[in-house]
Amino acid sequence: MRVNIMSSSKKTTSSREDDAELRRGPWTLEEDTLLVHYIARHGEGRWNLLAKRAGLRRTGKSCRLRWLNYLKPDVKRGNLTPQEQLLILDLHSKWGNRWSKIAQHLPGRTDNEIKNYWRTRVQKQARHLRIDANSTAFQDIIRRSWMPRLLQKIGGSSTSSSAMTCQSPAVSQVIPSYAPQFSAFPTALPPPQQQEAPFDMSVMMHCMEHREQTSDSEHGTSSCISSAESMNVSQMSRLSEYPKSPFQAMGNNGDYSTLVKDCYYVDSNFYDMEAINLATMSVPGDLGISAADRHMGDGDWAGYDFGDTVWNMDELWQFRNLQGKEI
DNA sequence: AACTTTGTCAACCGCTACTGG
DNA sequence: GCCAGTAGCGGTTGACAAAGT
């Protein structure tokens, strides 16, 4: 654990003293509380000042990162939906490793999350195939094999759920150009009543306070259920089915940020996470994605998140061998 | 059961761009 | 124009958990 690791010894006395006061490593419950409370009152920005005034022994940089990637209420957790994966594939093919730019088109997803996803899922597949993730061979595999299957996955789910009926503009631009057979998908925007609820800081604070009172809990998704008393039975059961919180995965018992995030799981489930994740996308500007300039960059494997694996490694190897290049 | 390997992802680092004095 | 402070980006690290042996 990288807690309270101090900086190098080649520093001036004053900077050493400064560093000695600075904490590093994983954030504690108390630090999260301080940060969230401060931002609730004063808003974000001026991070160095914020860190000092909030009483945090952290750099402004660290505070900013913690807020943007973890504590900010609209940060979305859980597996990326096939639609999101498709969008990432497409945008990465256009922009490369411009994670922040890509993240702008996936509301609730952070650049860090997308970057991690790419490195752990996509590049892994390239490694397994022993192909350079940036090679044209790998691009072809993605374009010809993986993306159509991902699209099939999306198409299949659209018949049984509302996922595709609430397709985002961004995704609806991607789908037809990669898979004409799916171009008839409804692309209607969500009706107004399904728009994502505006963030209510008071709810978040309530959740935090509640969590503080019940910090013995080690559960994840149900820890903030009290804030969602109006949930019906089906909503509750869906909640328990939702992929585990990364906070649970971290094993941070008593970390109240779990609670913060749980609140948003709950809220999100009010709107049907699967359907609304992309439905509520507000895509700034026109992606300008055309069939003509569509050329894949690094690939997405797409199947990794699904129990019924979409990708068949044998088939991919066939693909690779047919390509006969770039080992 | 014990140990090793692999995968995940939060957090850090270094750099560049921007802004205001 | 120069400088310092700040914000933001992309690459990398390392702790931890899960999977494999």
Which residue minimizes Cα–C1' distance to C16? A250
Q: In the block, which residue shows the tokens 């609806």?
A: A172
- Closest nucleotide (C1' vs CA) to A116 is B9
Residues with Cβ within 8 Å of A145's Cβ and at least 6 positions away in sequence, in order, are A311, A315, A316, A319
Helix residue ranges per DSSP H, A179-252: 201-213, 233-241, 246-250
**pLDDT in tens for each of the 327 residues of chain A?**
333 333 333 334 444 445 456 788 888 888 888 888 888 888 888 888 888 888 888 888 888 888 888 888 888 877 788 788 888 878 887 787 888 888 888 888 888 888 888 888 887 777 777 777 766 777 777 777 777 777 877 776 654 444 333 345 555 565 555 544 333 333 333 333 333 333 444 444 444 444 444 333 333 333 333 333 333 333 333 333 333 333 333 333 333 333 333 333 333 332 233 333 333 333 333 333 332 233 333 333 333 333 333 445 555 555 555 554 433
Q: How many angstroms is C1' of C14 away from CA of A44?
A: 29
The answer to whether the CB of A280 falls within 8 A of the CB of A269 is: no
CA distance A45 to A63: 10
In strand B, which positions have an atom below 7 A from any protein CB?
A: 7-14
- Strand C nucleotides within 7 Å of a protein CB: 5-12, 14-18
C-alpha A143: how far from chain center: 23
| Site of tokens 């004053």 | A14
Footprint of strand C on the protein (CB under 7 A): A 1-2, 45-49, 60-61, 64, 97-101, 111-112, 115-116, 119, 249-251
Cα A238 from Cα A258, distance rounded (Å): 18
Sign of the Cα pseudo-torsion (A163, A167, A170, A176, in order): positive
Contact A102, A111 (CB under 8 A): yes
Q: Give the C-alpha distances (Å, rounded to integers) separating A163 from A116, A132, A158, A181.
A: 25, 33, 6, 17
